[in-house]
Each structure stands twice: as structure tokens, then as C-alpha cells.
Amino acid sequence: MEQVTLTGQSSRLKMAGATLMLVALTAAAGWGIYAVPAPVVDRMLESDLRKSAMQMSRQVESHLYDLGETFRFHALTEHDEEFLELLPVTSDIYRFKLFDAAGQVFWSTRTSDVGTVNTKPYFQSTVAAGGLYYKHEEKPIAEVDFFGASNPEDTGLSSRHVAEVYTPIIRDATFLGAIAFYSDITDLRNLFITRVRLSLAVLSGVALLALSTVILIVHRTNRRQVRDLRTRTNKERELMDEQLRLAREVRLLGELNEWLQSSRSLDELFDMVARFMTHILPEAEGSVYVYSNSRDVLDGCASWNGGAHKAHIHPEGCWGLRRGRTYEFGVSEIDFVCEHAEPHDGRRYFCFPILAHGETVGLLHLRAIEGREDCFNKSRKLAQLCAEQISVAIANVRMRDQLHDQSVRDPLTGLFNRRHMTETLRKSINRSQQTGAALSLIAVDVDHFKKFNDTHGHDAGDMVLRAVGAALEQGCDRDEIACRIGGEEFMLILPDNSPEDAMTRAEHLRQAVEAVTVRYGEKALPRITISVGVAHYPAHGTMPQDLMRAADDALYVAKDKGRNQVQVACGAKNQTKHTPPESQQPSTDAA
């Protein structure tokens, strides 16, 4: 009986303890229902407002007539002003400002803001660095603008919850300025908090009921069964968490691969890498380096999660590159720090050489974020997969660039081919039609080229063509291009050159080619001369084929008049021609 009594007393004590625990859990649930929703809702709203601000920022960028002129010189067209004034009426924001790179407001929905300067540290440290800055604070109702029919002042509230989002404006890796959006999130925040509290109340009630049932079951079952149940539950939970983690990693890797394969340039590729790595490996700060064209150094291309990359590093300064395999600092009893990891604070890091077609093309450097070393230690395999994805993408981009370059280049001279010349000429004509800029086309033909081939062989002829191509390419400046359109025929496109300048340039090219000396074997080949025809837009045509025909006609005129001279197409305002002195005129039997 005493044993039964003791067992009963123990049972009652356990039940009393369970009851007290339920009371405590109920109180905790009540406190959680009141306190938890606000920060949860604030985080949800922050995420949505950040995305909305980025979309609105892109909308503003797309509607501004000239983004660079607007932010550099505060130049706004009448259309820009109308769009900016209508934006608060047609969106959830009630106020926004435009800042230049120095933090000065040059446009705002409040005229009193214009001219003020944002000197807060976050503007230079976060926004100017390309980051998005978010701030949520409670402001007096008098500081909030309202565009609706009702005024929140009628509710008797003295303050409103306001979200400020600063989005950077960046073009060609240059920080132009920023846009600040102000949104009144009071009503939406209160609505979400109320819904979350109701949901938590229901879930808490269900959870407490379930917990009561579990306590009764645990109280009436054997300790070993309970222990086994808990052990099995923990294992299943760990397995589920692991499966979810693996599924997420596989999904992100697939998305990373898809985006990287669609990148059009290495700069775009590295921007994608930086954005994805913040999600794939949130416990690691990292950076990417790629070999320069000279392969003497590696150039820093991107960094993320608070990491920083140096402008250039030497291959000998990284133990991973020197050893040709992944280097992990912090696992051996004796380790050496890579030069690019200095200054070093003892945290573990990885150096993954990036390989493409068996050749090392770069380096992926990852370092554990302070306080998250345990998670970082488990990420090596995933990081290795990321490095492989990046290496394949870099190889594809470079191969695509090489194939494109081969498709538009002449293999003998290295000049652009006829297809690229035709496309460029069409674009140049369209530009001249829109801006009124001058445009000239120069046709070049090597005089007596057949004699070079017949007398000295085709190898000598190829050397002559390469020498002429090099002279023409050296004579090009800015957006001017030289093309080999076939055989010994060349063409040059000269945008932004007046007719007089184009004629002068043509004469300089003729003289430059005439001054070239080509050696074949142990002797120099005969002097090289060219005949040149010049056509101007729009005097000689407004279509590519018209300009090309006019330049060819002028070229044939130059040949008919004795070669080694410059002729302009008929119909131009300036009929000046350039011919060499008689002493330099070639004889009829010269090569």
C-alpha cells in the first residue's frame, strides 16, 4: 500500500508539475501572441518594401529621359517632372527624393527638401557602395503627407509608422545618386499584426491542447517508450531538416547554373555570383578573382556578405593556386595564411582554384563569418560545387566571346570582316540620321597586288595584306574601324569626321602605307601603294550600299588616274583630291 501510495503521490506530483507547466506555457503563449507579431510583421514588410522600392527605382530610371544627365547635372525634362509628380498619387509612397552622388537633394515632392544634403553615415557607407538602405521609424503625424480623401488625423493618433528605403542609382559601375521612398505602413502593419495575433492564438490553442494530450500520454506510458519516441522524433526532425537543406541547395545551385549560363559578359556573371552566394552560403563571406589577360596577376571581380576583394593579387600569394588544389586554413596543426587573406584574424577559410578546360582561370575565396564557424565547416562540399558551376560559366562566356570575335574578324589581317562592317555602317548611318553627326566611308585597294602574288608568291602577298591592315588599324581612332571586305580591298568607317577631315585622314593613310617596308626572306618587297576613294554621308548616299558604291566609284577613279592617290566621290561639296608629287608617282610597271 505504501508503494502504491508513493506511486500515487508521485503521479499527483507529476500531474501538478504538468499543470503548472501548462499554466506557464499558456502565459508564455499569451505574451508571445502580443509581443511576437510586431517584429515578424516588420521583417515581412521590410522584405516586401525592399522589392517594391527596387521595382519603383527601375521604373523611375526607365522613365527619365537621360539618367546620367539627370543625376550628374540635375537636368529634368518637362516629361520627367510630370512623371515624378504623379508617382506618389499612383503608388503607395507619399514622398520621395532624388539625391546626386554627393547626397544633395535636387528633386523632392517637398520643395523644402531641395538643396538639403544627406550627411548620415549610411548614405556613403551603404547606398554609395551600391547597397539598399531600409529604415522604419515612428514619426509625428504632421510629418506625413496624405493624398487620399480621408486624413488619418481623424483617428486621434499622434504618430504614424513610416518606412524609408534608399535605392542606389548605378550605371557602368559608377554611383550616380540615390532615390529615397517614404511609405506610410501604419494601416497595413496594424492589419497584419492583428491577423498574425489571431493566427498565433489559434495555433497556440491547438498547440496547448496537443501538448496537454501529449503530457497525459507521457504520464501514462513507460519512460523507455517516451525516451525512444523522443529519440526517433529527433532523428526524423534532423533527417527532415537535412532533406530540406539539401533540396534548397540543389534548387539554388540549379538556379545559379541557369542564370550563369545566360550571362552575356564576365561582369554580369560575377554580379550574379555575388547575389546568389549570399543565399547559398550565408555563413561565409567571399570573393572571386580571375586571371588578367597577361596572366601575371589575378583581378578582384566581386565580393559578398561583408567580404572584400583586393584589386590585384599574385598567384604565388595563394597556397591554393600554388598547390593546384583546394586549400583549407584552420584544419591542420600548422597552417600558413595566404597573402590575399591578410590581415587575418584566425577564422577558417577556403581557397578554391577555378578551373576551365583543365586550366586555372581564377580563385574562389570563402571565409567564415564571425560566430558562424560551425555552419561554415559543413559547407565545403557545397562551396566546391559552386566553384565548379562558376568555372563552367566562365569557360562558356570566354568561349562565346572567342567565337563572336572569330565571326567578325578577318583571320589573315585581324581586321573586322565585311559582315561586321555592314552592320557597323548601318548603325553609324542611323546615328547620323538622329544626331546629325558627320560620317565618311573610305575604300582602299592595294595597287598592283596581283604582281606581288605572281612575282613573289602568295606568302609575300599575305604579308603585304597584313602590313596594310596594320597601317590602317593604327590610323583608326575612337569609334573608327578598319575592315577587310575581300582580297586586297579594305574599307574604313569614320564617324564624327567632317568631309575635310576625312580627306586629310585618307591622305595620311595613303602616306602611312607608302612608308611601310615589308621584308620577305632576306630582301625587302617593292614599295606598297594604295588607291583610296572617299564618300560622305549624306552627300553620296543615305543607305549603306549607296555609300559603299560611291566610295568604290571614287576608288576606281583614283586607279584610272594613275593609282597611289585619293579621290572623293562625285557630287560632294568638296572635290579636293590628294595625289603624291610627281617624284612619288609609280611607274606603269611598278609593283
E-state strands within 456-565: 481-486, 489-495, 519-520, 523-524, 530-537
Do residue 275 and residue 378 come from a single domain?
yes
- End of a domain among 406, 429, 450? 406
Q: What is the domain-level CATH number for residue 328?
A: 3.30.450.40
Give the residue among 232, 223, 179, 221 at the shortest CA–CA distance from 64.
179
Catalytic residues: 488
The separation between CA 586 and the C-alpha centre of its own chain, rounded to angstroms, equals 56
Alpha-helical segments (H) within 262-372: 266-280, 319-323
The amino acid sitting at 152 is P
> Could you tell me if residue 275 is inside a domain?
yes
Mapped onto helix, strand or coil, the DSSP state of residue 91 is coil
Report the pLDDT value the prediction gives residue 566, as an integer from 0 to 100. 93
Do residue 441 and residue 376 come from a single domain?
no
Report the pLDDT value the prediction gives residue 483, as an integer from 0 to 100. 93
Q: How far apart are CA 283 and CA 53, in angstroms?
A: 27
Do residue 47 and residue 174 come from a single domain?
yes
Q: How far apart are CA 180 and CA 123, in angstroms?
A: 11
Q: What is the domain-level CATH number for residue 522?
A: 3.30.70.270
Contact 364, 384 (CB under 8 A): no
> Could you tell me if residue 431 is inside a domain?
yes
> Could you tell me if residue 411 is inside a domain?
no
Do residue 423 and residue 571 come from a single domain?
yes
Q: How far apart are CA 368 and CA 410, in angstroms?
A: 49
Contact 96, 179 (CB under 8 A): yes
Instruction: Establish whether the linkage from the previous residue to 538 is cis, with ω within 30° of 0.
Output: yes
For residue 143 the three cell numbers come to 510629418
Do residue 425 and residue 360 come from a single domain?
no
Report the pLDDT value the prediction gives residue 558, as an integer from 0 to 100. 93
Do residue 379 and residue 492 come from a single domain?
no
Do residue 399 and residue 451 come from a single domain?
no
Point out the residues of the chain with pLDDT beneath 50.
Answer: 1-8, 148-150, 572-578, 581-591
Do residue 532 and residue 383 come from a single domain?
no
Give the residue among 527, 528, 523, 520 at the shortest CA–CA distance from 459.
520
Name residues whose C-beta falls within 8 Å of residue 198's C-beta, 6 or more positions apart in sequence: none
Q: How far is CA 532 from CA 153, 446, 570, in A?
A: 80, 9, 14
Instruction: Establish whether the linkage from the previous residue to 37 is cis, with ω within 30° of 0.
Output: no
Which phi and psi angles does 176 have, rounded to 5°? -90, -30
> Could you tell me if residue 219 is inside a domain?
no
Do residue 454 and residue 580 come from a single domain?
yes
Residue 342 sits at the vertex; the CA angle it makes with 337 and 346, to the nearest 5 degrees, is: 60
> Could you tell me if residue 357 is inside a domain?
yes
Do residue 104 and residue 46 come from a single domain?
yes
Contact 460, 471 (CB under 8 A): no
Strand pairing class (481-486; 489-495): antiparallel
Number of domains in the chain: 3
Give the residue among 493, 515, 497 at the shortest CA–CA distance from 443.
493
Length in residues, the chain: 591
> Could you tell me if residue 251 is inside a domain?
no
> Could you tell me if residue 233 is inside a domain?
no
Half-sphere exposure at residue 512, Cβ-oriented, CA atoms within 13 angstroms: 18
Mapped onto helix, strand or coil, the DSSP state of residue 325 is coil
> Could you tell me if residue 3 is inside a domain?
no
Task: List the domain range (segments joined by +) for residue 50.
Answer: 37-144+157-184
Q: What is the domain-level CATH number for residue 93?
A: 3.30.450.20
**% residues pLDDT > 90 (the chain):** 27
Q: How far apart are CA 245 and CA 242, in angstroms?
A: 5
- End of a domain among 366, 386, 406? 406
For residue 561 the three cell numbers come to 588616274
Q: How far apart are CA 304 and CA 408, in angstroms?
A: 36
Q: How far apart are CA 577 and CA 580, in angstroms?
A: 10
Do residue 535 and residue 556 come from a single domain?
yes
Contact 449, 490 (CB under 8 A): no
For residue 182 the three cell numbers come to 517614404
Do residue 575 and residue 426 come from a single domain?
yes
- End of a domain among 378, 406, 434? 406
Half-sphere exposure at residue 313, Cβ-oriented, CA atoms within 13 angstroms: 26
